Structure 1
Amino acid sequence: MDFLGVDCVRRKLVGAFVLWLAAATGAFASPDKEELFRQLQVRAEAGVAIAQYNLGMFYNNGIGTSENPEAAFQWFEKAARAGDWLGSYKVGCYYAGQFGDVVKPDAEKALSYKLEAAQAGYVLAQHDVAISYARRGAYEEAFKWWQAAAGQGDLTALVMLSQAYGQGRGVEKSPAKAYEHLLIVIRLVPESQSGELEPLLGDLRKQLDTKAITDAEQAAKAWSPLPTELTMRAREGIREAISVAQSQLIHP
């Protein structure tokens, strides 16, 4: 498996976008979506950044209105300009070509916008920025952002950290650290997939003495994800939209 290949382990942690869809399809009771859309629109047009981002998500996903990527992008841009980091991330996604031909793909703009969100602590942005740097051969920068995303529990980032430590790419080679992070990955993936990682785990174990194995296993056992406030906000999904729409926020 090469440095950017994650064929054996796909991302299993639920991202903000998935949570949005789950919430929008009835994961919990919610008010009339069309009325919620109208309430968000009033606040967004008044310049409230958090409402602008959420209105963009409604247009993006067709909640309470028809899907309209063009309108979604416009509201994400407004939210980003007003300092909403989730809005910045979505603008970056559009420039990365993730939502059709609404805007001409621009890798530099995509990285710039996503980097803003990554620096603010958003896990999906950190993951994407790491991938962008790795593709450019900037492995030390990639490692930095994989490490940040992994600390929040991003599965792909944990896999990449294990590979980076195992290969000494972007960081000093450390079979012990590679082993530790692979153990964490095995904790997170479904049991049906963990078996695919056992040969890799065995290869790393052969490179370690008993103490190194014990230390790595204890570190992996003690590990727990620490999502940032921005990541937790993104995971609120439509619940945030409901809160914003029902609030008295009508001014930026």
Structure 2
Amino acid sequence: MLHTQVRTNSPNIFCNFEDIDGGITALTIEKKNINAIYDDIFPDKGKTLDETKHIVSNEFKIIKEFNAKFEKNVLISLNDKPPTEAVKNLIYISDEKEKELHDHLDKGDFKVQMPYELLFLNKQTNGAFLLGIGSYFPFELFPFFMDISDYSEDVALVYENIDDKFDAFISCLNNLKYDDGRFVYFSMDVGAAAAFGKKTFEYKDKVNKLLGNNYFGIMSAPSSAYIPPEFRLRNYLSETHNNTFFMGAGTSSCLEI
């Protein structure tokens, strides 16, 4: 998925009501018996890279395969072409949507969920990473937010249909450990709003049914997590490094405090 809100000096990050520009804020909770849960909308990875390739070929529609050149978190080319040029004729966007995008791009108020993604396979973990891509990006190089040095140069442009994954976006809430009414904090992927539109309001009733009133939830950028093996629910496709999990879309997390 690719969510865009393009403008300079955005977002603003505040600490004690002071703008700290490009800094990072962190919330630390010190308490015994806190349960942390991470989950995503994807199937389990395979035991080998070939097995993972087979799994993702069933999960996503493969549009075209490429040989990619990249340096850490910058995608340089696909089949020796600039990334957006390489996918331009493979990604459908209506003339009306393209005009709307260009009209709003310089205002910082255009948000879109992209079902077209580049699929990278991790040579170290046998996991995968999805990178949303659109043909409208105006530069030849395609920078993003994760170092993919451990990933294979063989990538694929894929289409993801998530119509049947509405409930999966809050799947972390189906694996709560305690039933003593403790407070639950959770985060879900904001991409659900772009993907499901008005249907997103149904999450409120679903969460209330699961948690009652003792919770606080946010829709935000997809969660990442460090999870030792003994705390994992399954073999996540989204393992980017040893015991570290992230995907460009579809992840969720929660804390039982």
Pair in the same fold by TM > 0.5: no
- TM-score of the aligned structures, taking structure 1 as reference length: 0.24
Larger helix proportion of the pair: 1
Q: Computing the radius of gyration over CA atoms, which structure comes out larger, 1 or 2?
A: 1
- Which has the higher relative contact order, 1 or 2, with Cα contacts under 8 A spaced 6 or more apart? 2
Larger strand proportion of the pair: 2
